[in-house]
Amino acid sequence: MRFPTFLFALAIGLFCAHAEASEPVRRVIGFDLPHLAIAGTSSNFRPGLIEQGFHLSTPEDGVFVQGPLYNFSPINGGNYARFISGAENLKIVHKDGLPFTPHQVDLAEYSGSRPVTFVGRKADNSTITVSFTLDGQNDGTGPVADFETFVFPASFAEIVELSVPGTIYYLDNLVVTPQGIETPEPAPLTPPLVYDINWNDLPHRLDQPSAIGGQRSPSTSVFGTQYVRSQIGPLTDRPLELGGGEAVYDQFGMILSRKAERYVMEFDMTQLGSSSLAVFMDHSHGLLRTDFNANGGVTFYSGTTNNVFSGSNSNSSYSPRAITHCTMDFDLANRRAQIVINGTKVAEWVMNRLPDLDLRQFRFSLSGADIVGIDNIKISAFGVSPLQVSPSELNFHTVSVGSSQTRSFSVTNISDEDLTITRMTSSSSVFTLETPLPLLIPARESSVLTVKAAPTSGETFSGILDLQAGPHMASLSASVTGFQQILPGNFSLHPSTQVMTERQFVTLTSIYEGTGVSHYEWTLNGTPIPNSRTHNHQITSATLANAGLYQVAAVLINGRRVFSKEANIAVVRHDTINRTIALGGRVELVCTAAGSRLIYEWRRNGELIQTTSGPVSANGSSLVLHPVGLSSEGHYTCNVSIRNFGGSPSASVRGMDANLSVLLPPRILTDKLPHVRVGDYTSFQLRTSSASTFFSASGLPSGIILDPWSGRVFGRPELAITSDPSHPDRATPYRVTFTAYNESGAGPAVELEWWIHPKPQTRNFAGLIDREKLSMDSSGLGGRFTLSITAKGSLTGSMVLAGKSFPVIGSPSYNNDDGALEGELHFNKSAKSGPIFVRIHPDGRVTSGSNPSTPDGVLEGGQILSKAAAKQHQGLYPAALLPEVSQTMLEDEVTIPGGLGYLSFKASATGTVTYSGRLGDGTQVTGSHPLIIHPEDPEAARLPIYLMPQAQRSFFSGWVSYAKAQVDGNLEWAKQPHVKNTTYREGFLLQSLQVIGSRHVAPAPGQTLMNLGDTVHHLELSSPGLPGPVTKTLQVQPNHRATITGQGAPTGVVMTISPSTSLFSGSYVSGKYRGYPIKATFQGVFVPRLGQGVGTILSLSEESLKLNLTSPTLDVGQVRIFPAK
């Protein structure tokens, strides 16, 4: 509201410019300055507002200023602040951080009787509290006084912050007195300019929210937070950022309400996204809006409550991402508005006539996550008032306290209409208007008015006088210095000794009890401080040069000086250090401070350091560590205080925070070296536990270089170590020793294996393909593969699947973990399959799968045995094929072949094995394949077997191992159903055939194979054509002639034995059909490891003969030869 004149204060600017005022002046925060709100309206200021030199703010919604908007709104003669939901925790501080004293405040309840609590915070962070309980009376336009005045207790003197933690109240007329010298307010802008905003200078700070208030900052941040940036797109001179990449509603505004005839706003902008920039123009009858679209168009919208403008948008276009200079011209007198972009008029409208039309506020608004930059806002108000005042300033000079003096000034009406001055308001009760009002000033004429100045104390008073004639205003300033009789006194408050940090803001305060003070003089170390003429002295940003002995003198008007006590001021530079120090070295920490009688307190990890010599010595501002040990690590601090004259220290200030860590000799962390082939380039960096300054190595392969300063190892190895002549493709690792050094010495030496592989040599590999794990093998028959490493290091070979051969190629590389060659094998397009990841291990094994620890099992094989290694396995190996587990492919009752199969393996001196024999159903099988290495026994070998005896209708596959003159293995045998099968047309799956055999040794002269001639043997025949297992007696002569005797069927049993091959064969008559004998044959092999002979019987099926089948089937049986008990 408009506060009673005897309590001073609306505008304070001129007071702040006079630093010599001896006593602070009370001020009233009454929310009635023109830029805050027009009576009957409201304004919201985010994050707060500055009035009378004080900053008012709330964390959420800022400060809401209003008049009596509604019939039930409280009335206090003007505007006031409202604090309801969302406006909790009001905080009031001086804009310069000065202490102040609150005296009284007007409060009104929002609803009901409730206390309003005020909290004052002192400079030492102690707090005081007072609660004012409202009477609950608030009737708006009724007769009851809505606001109550409350007086703060004396304990609230010289606080630095006043806060209200609650809400639900109205506040007005807060009377405060600041203590100290304020920074001068910026000079007012020259009319018609009312705002000139860029963000280059203080109070705006880079990468901080925009300052609020005054003519050089926005009035309010309505929504969001707008930051000052160094550059936004082409705007490079610290523009303001809207949006900032956050999906929020961002808005700020400049309040006008100047009753001007014309408003012109200019600004620069750039748009970096797809969102439109909106400019809102609040007027006295509603709302206007202009959108600057991201496509370069401009759209104008009329008000939401009254259609103020008529007309249509014009075509317009601009480049949003460039710098766009925009001028918005609102000529209220001539009822026209236009928008000019980059010097070109893009839109123009005509205003409808409305009474008292005025623009209240310009608002910039952005919705969305894009970024818009704004800079160089200039707003001018033309034709503000037809009243002109001369002179604009009245200086009454010196007037005795208790008396008064008058001065006159003229007011000229430059308009063509008569004007009547109805009211004069003064910001200071010292100045009053003596001329009676109302006063008519005819058009184009002048009148003389008289102002009286009556100072109330011996200080300088300043004030602003506002004249009002209808909607028009005119102002002038006035000043006077009161003359008062000298009453000598003394200082009741002396400047205090204290320690401060660099760049700290400090006010040295004194209080002189007496009158007749002309001014004050401050000295530093006896030297006068220029321009320091008040009872307070401010150090705005302390430096080391500000340290020393300060003293203030009250200079009386008769020239006498009264001196205060000296204040010892010390300035400390706070340093933060993070340093790594060498073991055994020397470190000195120095705390930088200026002043006298200083005390330095050094601590390590919070513990006081009291030693002045030895490994840790603290001497004044210096702390020395020598020699540095492991215990030297820690957090070191230095606090600085002043020793008072009584001996006790002052409060201390932190001068240093140092974090020291001890540098240990570096450890080599590299634990594996890359596998490299001779002639290939390699490069890697040695990793260490800490920063290293030097590296050394021993045992490096020829052609490899170590950079001793960086730890980089690089080059092309020239030679591989091959210790096994039989395997020139296999390398032996180098033993390389690395050592790292730093300021603390050498770290531990680390010896690493380095595999340097010889240049590629042709090597051949072979193996089997798992029938169940290869996705492209839809037949389920499996297959085999062959691979070769070429002299260029590539892989070639073929995959045989279900009788079809597919070529494959690959380009393997070494695995650094185990030295395996690995890479993808690619099929040609006809295979319609993706690649297989193959690994060739250093021991010659071949597996598949990209994870070495979990191979996928598609491929299993190895390197083909060298001739030298294969020679030990040369010979003939007869072996039995014994079924282990059987399972039919159809019903369980379908039988499987009853014969016992056999194979005879013949290994040549070159390692190629030729094998032949008969399966349990009588099928003859033959094949050959070179031996490959054994993955577990270097003295052994393996033979992969893969056959398709029935041409894509069966397979015979598995592994046979050669070791210690024996053969062992497990083979899979599957036979698919087929009507043309001579035996077992239903098919079967014999999951496993056990291979058991040994190297054949021909009998010596006079001896028989397997000692057959030494004892009587049994010949056991089992076949479907026989009544059951039939046993005959077998006797073998020295010449291996066999004689078979025994009663009953079958008859005609004969047999021959081949001692050189260990094979036997024979026949018998199994029955008769139509008088003709049915002959059966059998074949087999003697297996010394079993001490038996095993084989298969084949005979025509008598049942098929009776059915007169065109393709008679065969009965299959087994034959066994074993010693008689």
pTM confidence score: 0.46
Closest by CA to 232, choosing from 259, 204, 268, 260, is 268
- Contact predicate 96/182, CB 8 Å: yes
Q: What percent of the chain has pLDDT over 70?
A: 87
**Could you tell me if 339 and 262 lie in one domain?**
yes
Q: What is the b/e burial string over 735-751, where b = at least 16 CB atoms within 10 angstroms of the residue's CB?
A: ebebbbbbebeebeebe
**Could you tell me if 331 and 431 lie in one domain?**
no
Containing H/E element for 17?
helix 13-17
**Could you tell me if 19 and 141 lie in one domain?**
yes
Strands 393-400 and 472-483: parallel
Separation between Cα atoms, residue 424 and residue 450, nearest integer Å: 12
**18 pLDDT higher than 50:** no
Kindly state whether residue 906 falls inside one of the protein's structural domains.
yes
Q: What is the b/e burial string over 859-876, where b = at least 16 CB atoms within 10 angstroms of the residue's CB?
A: bbbbbbbeeebbeebebb
Closest by CA to 458, choosing from 512, 386, 525, 383, is 512
CB neighbours of 985 closer than 8 A, spacing ≥ 6? 977, 978, 979, 1113
CATH number, domain of 903, equals 2.40.128
- The phi and psi torsions of 1106 (rounded to 5 degrees) equal -65, -35
**Could you tell me if 369 and 257 lie in one domain?**
yes
Separation between Cα atoms, residue 763 and residue 753, nearest integer Å: 25
Cα 689 versus chain centre, distance: 26
Residue 526 exposed, middle or buried by CB count within 10 Å (0-12, 13-18, 19+): exposed
Report, as an integer, the average pLDDT of 955-962. 90
Where among 178, 206, 239 does a domain terminate?
178
Task: Say what the pLDDT of residue 36 is.
Answer: 54
**Could you tell me if 243 and 374 lie in one domain?**
yes
Kindly state whether residue 245 falls inside one of the protein's structural domains.
yes
Report, as an integer, the average pLDDT of 351-359. 66
Strands 567-572 and 498-501: parallel
Kindly state whether residue 553 falls inside one of the protein's structural domains.
yes
State pLDDT tens for residues 848-864.
887 777 777 889 999 99
Separation between Cα atoms, residue 163 and residue 178, nearest integer Å: 16
SS3 242: strand
Which of 334-348, 567-581, 883-897, 963-977 bottoms out in mean pLDDT, i.e. has the lowest?
A: 883-897
Higher pLDDT, 726 or 1048: 1048
- Strands (E) across 605-680 are located at 607-608, 616-619, 622-625, 634-642, 653-663, 676-677
Containing H/E element for 15?
helix 13-17
Question: How sure is the predictor about 283, in pLDDT bands with cuts at 50, 70 and 90?
Answer: confident
State pLDDT tens for residues 983-1001.
766 667 666 889 999 999 9
Three-state SS for 139-172 is: CCCCCCCCCEEEECCHHHCCECEEEECCCCEEEE
Number of domains composing the chain: 9
Length of the chain: 1125
Secondary structure letter of residue 84 according to DSSP:
-
Q: Which domain holds residue 29?
A: 5-178
State pLDDT tens for residues 190-199.
889 989 999 9
Strands 734-742 and 756-757: unpaired
Task: Say what the pLDDT of residue 284 is.
Answer: 66
> Which range is most confident: 79-88, 209-218, 691-700, 725-734?
691-700
Task: Say what the pLDDT of residue 487 is.
Answer: 75
**Could you tell me if 845 and 937 lie in one domain?**
no
Containing H/E element for 594?
strand 593-594
Cβ neighbours around 1103 below 10 Å, total: 13
Task: Say what the pLDDT of residue 900 is.
Answer: 84
- The phi and psi torsions of 155 (rounded to 5 degrees) equal -65, -15
Report, as an integer, the average pLDDT of 180-204. 88
**Could you tell me if 359 and 278 lie in one domain?**
yes
- Amino acid at site 551: Q
Strand partners, 117: 131
Separation between Cα atoms, residue 1064 and residue 1085, nearest integer Å: 6
**Could you tell me if 407 and 428 lie in one domain?**
yes
- The phi and psi torsions of 872 (rounded to 5 degrees) equal -70, -20
Number of H helices, E strands in the chain: 3, 92
CATH number, domain of 104, equals 2.60.120
Containing H/E element for 947?
strand 941-947
Task: Say what the pLDDT of residue 948 is.
Answer: 82
Question: How sure is the predictor about 184, in pLDDT bands with cuts at 50, 70 and 90?
Answer: confident
Separation between Cα atoms, residue 332 and residue 470, nearest integer Å: 18
Separation between Cα atoms, residue 857 and residue 547, nearest integer Å: 82
Closest by CA to 461, choosing from 502, 496, 431, is 431
**776 pLDDT higher than 70:** no
Token pair recorded at residue 958: 């598995």
Token pair recorded at residue 1082: 């059998």
State pLDDT tens for residues 205-246.
999 988 888 889 998 888 888 899 999 999 999 999 998 766
Question: How sure is the predictor about 11, in pLDDT bands with cuts at 50, 70 and 90?
Answer: very low
Separation between Cα atoms, residue 240 and residue 221, nearest integer Å: 12
State pLDDT tens for residues 731-755.
889 999 999 999 888 999 999 999 9
Angle at 958 between CA 953 and CA 960, to 5 degrees: 140
Task: Say what the pLDDT of residue 470 is.
Answer: 86
Kindly state whether residue 794 falls inside one of the protein's structural domains.
yes
Containing H/E element for 946?
strand 941-947
Separation between Cα atoms, residue 538 and residue 525, nearest integer Å: 16
- Contact predicate 860/896, CB 8 Å: no
Closest by CA to 991, choosing from 900, 902, 896, 923, is 896
Separation between Cα atoms, residue 980 and residue 261, nearest integer Å: 113
**564 pLDDT higher than 80:** yes
**Could you tell me if 619 and 601 lie in one domain?**
yes
Where on the phi/psi map is residue 376: left (φ > 0), alpha (ψ -120 to 50), or beta?
A: left
SS3 1053: strand
Separation between Cα atoms, residue 198 and residue 531, nearest integer Å: 30
Separation between Cα atoms, residue 380 and residue 84, nearest integer Å: 35
Instruction: Measure Cα distances from 1109 to 121, 985, 997, 1074, 1104 in Å.
Output: 118, 14, 39, 15, 6
Task: Say what the pLDDT of residue 235 is.
Answer: 94
Closest by CA to 457, choosing from 519, 520, 400, 536, is 400
Kindly state whether residue 185 falls inside one of the protein's structural domains.
no
Report, as an integer, the average pLDDT of 346-369. 77
Separation between Cα atoms, residue 833 and residue 825, nearest integer Å: 11
Strand partners, 232: 235
**Could you tell me if 521 and 658 lie in one domain?**
no
Task: Say what the pLDDT of residue 7 is.
Answer: 31
- Contact predicate 907/877, CB 8 Å: yes
**Could you tell me if 166 and 55 lie in one domain?**
yes
Closest by CA to 971, choosing from 950, 940, 988, 946, is 946
Token pair recorded at residue 144: 């009851």
Which of 786-790, 881-885, 893-897 bottoms out in mean pLDDT, i.e. has the lowest?
A: 893-897
SS3 695: strand
Report, as an integer, the average pLDDT of 110-133. 92
Max CA distance (Å), the chain = 168
**Could you tell me if 533 and 545 lie in one domain?**
yes
Separation between Cα atoms, residue 244 and residue 74, nearest integer Å: 40
- Contact predicate 989/920, CB 8 Å: no
Task: Say what the pLDDT of residue 954 is.
Answer: 77
Kindly state whether residue 669 falls inside one of the protein's structural domains.
no
Q: How much is the mean pLDDT over the chain?
A: 84
State pLDDT tens for residues 301-324.
765 444 555 555 555 678 999 999
Task: Say what the pLDDT of residue 9 is.
Answer: 31
Alpha helices by DSSP H, listed for 840-982, are 867-870
Question: How sure is the predictor about 247, in pLDDT bands with cuts at 50, 70 and 90?
Answer: low
Kindly state whether residue 668 falls inside one of the protein's structural domains.
no
**486 pLDDT higher than 80:** no
Task: Say what the pLDDT of residue 348 is.
Answer: 80
- Amino acid at site 259: K
Task: Say what the pLDDT of residue 206 is.
Answer: 93
- Cβ contacts of 283-288, under 8 Å, gap ≥ 24: 283/308, 283/357, 283/358, 283/359, 283/360, 284/354, 284/356, 284/357, 284/358, 284/360, 285/354, 285/357
Separation between Cα atoms, residue 930 and residue 763, nearest integer Å: 13
CB neighbours of 298 closer than 8 A, spacing ≥ 6? 290, 291, 292, 313, 316, 318, 339, 341, 346, 347
Kindly state whether residue 37 falls inside one of the protein's structural domains.
yes
Q: What percent of the chain has pLDDT over 90?
A: 42
Where among 538, 570, 602 does a domain terminate?
570
State pLDDT tens for residues 778-804.
566 778 999 999 888 899 999 888 778
Closest by CA to 786, choosing from 778, 795, 777, is 795
Separation between Cα atoms, residue 852 and residue 857, nearest integer Å: 11
Which of 64-73, 358-367, 614-623, 896-905 bottoms out in mean pLDDT, i.e. has the lowest?
A: 64-73
SS3 830: helix
CATH number, domain of 717, equals 2.60.40.10
Where among 535, 570, 605 does a domain terminate?
570
Strands 405-413 and 115-121: unpaired
Q: Which residue has the tokens 């094949």?
A: 927
